[in-house]
Amino acid sequence: MVAAVCGAVVVLVASGPSDADSAAVSRRALAAHEAGRLIAAVRIPGQVATPASEPESADPIAGLSRATGPVTVGRSGSWSASRSAAAVRALLDAHPPAGTRRAPGASLTFIAIHDPAGLASARLELTVVATGPRSSAVHAEALVRWLVARSPAERVPTGAHELEITRGAIGHAPSLVVRVSDRARIARIRALLDRLAPVQPGHVYHCPAQFAQVPVVSFVFRAGGSRSQVLAVATEQADVRAPTTACDAMHFTVGGREQAPLLGGYRLLREVSSLLGRRLWTGPYAA
C-alpha cells in the first residue's frame, strides 16, 4: 500500500498468505525457540522464585495468516528477588544474559550477539520494580522476529527466453532499449534477480516524494515465440542509491500479479550493466 501524505510517501508493506507457509512455520518455531532461550538465560541475583512458564505469543497484522507473518514471537517471565531494585538493576546491567549484549542507548535491554539464520532480530527487555527496601520484582520480555523468505512462485519463470530492458520516464518513450535473446545471459540476469531479498513486511515507511521525471529501468521477461507472453516484469528507479530501502525497492510482478518488493536494485543495475556492456543506471536526479 502506498499513499501520498504532505509531500511524502507513506509505504505500508504487508504480505498475505503464500506458498512459503511451510518455511514460515519452521522459522516461527525457530523464533519461539530463541525467545525461550533468552528467557532461560536470565539470571536474577537473590532469586527466590522461578518464572512461570508462559505460552508464546504471535501478533500478526490483521488479515494476515499466522503462518506467513509478519510476526514477532514473544516469551516472558517474572521473578522475585531478595535485593533492592537498585542492586538488581546494577547487577543485570553489568552482566548481560548469556549470548546477549547491551543494546546501544538502552537500559536493561539486550540483543542477541548472533541472530540465527532466518531471524531478523532478537531482543530481551528487563524491568525491575521495587517491592520493598530489600526486595524487588523482575519482568523479562523476549521478542524475536523472523525473516520472511521469497517463495518459489516469487521468481522469474524458467520459461523466459526473451528479455527487453528499457530506461525512461514513466509515460514517455524510453531513452534506452536493450533486447537480450542469448539464453545464457537471460539465465544469468534471472539468477541475479531471483537472489534479491524481499522487503520485510510489518513496517510503515515514511518515504520522500518521488518525481515522475526520474527514469525507470524495466526488465520485461517474455516466453518468446509468436505470442511473446509476458512472464515477469521488474522495475527500478535508474538513480536508486545504496543501500536500497522499502522506499526505493524494485517492483516485481509474475504473470501480472504483484509480488513483494525487492531490495538490492542498486547492485543489480550495475551487475547487469557490466554483463551487457550498457549502462542502465543514471546519477541522482535533481529536481
Name the residue with higher pLDDT: 20 or 101. Answer: 101
Which neighbouring-strand residues pair with 211? none
Which of 90, 119, 146 is at the close of a domain? 146
The domain that contains 70 carries what CATH number? 3.30.530
Name the residue with higher pLDDT: 42 or 59. Answer: 42
Range of the domain at 271: 151-276
**Mean pLDDT across 198-227:** 82
Strand ranges of the sheet holding 57-58, from the earlier edge strand across to the other edge: 57-58, 72-81, 135-146, 119-132, 109-112, 100-102
Same domain, 219 and 253: yes
Q: Please tell me the predicted confidence (pLDDT) of residue 23.
A: 65
Same domain, 195 and 227: yes
In the predicted model, is pLDDT for residue 241 greater than 50?
yes
Same domain, 111 and 160: no
In the predicted model, is pLDDT for residue 238 greater than 60?
yes
A 10 A CB-CB count for 77 gives 21
Q: Please tell me the predicted confidence (pLDDT) of residue 278.
A: 96
Domain count of the fold of the chain: 2
Is 15 among the domain residues?
Answer: no
pLDDT digits (tens, 9 = 90+) for 145-198: 887 778 888 999 999 999 999 999 988 999 999 999 999 999 999 999 999 988
Which of 146, 176, 208 is at the close of a domain? 146
Same domain, 172 and 137: no
The verdict on pTM exceeding 0.85 is: no
Same domain, 168 and 132: no
Same domain, 48 and 112: yes
Which of 107, 127, 146 is at the close of a domain? 146
Is 167 among the domain residues?
Answer: yes
Same domain, 114 and 160: no
**Mean pLDDT across 240-257:** 92
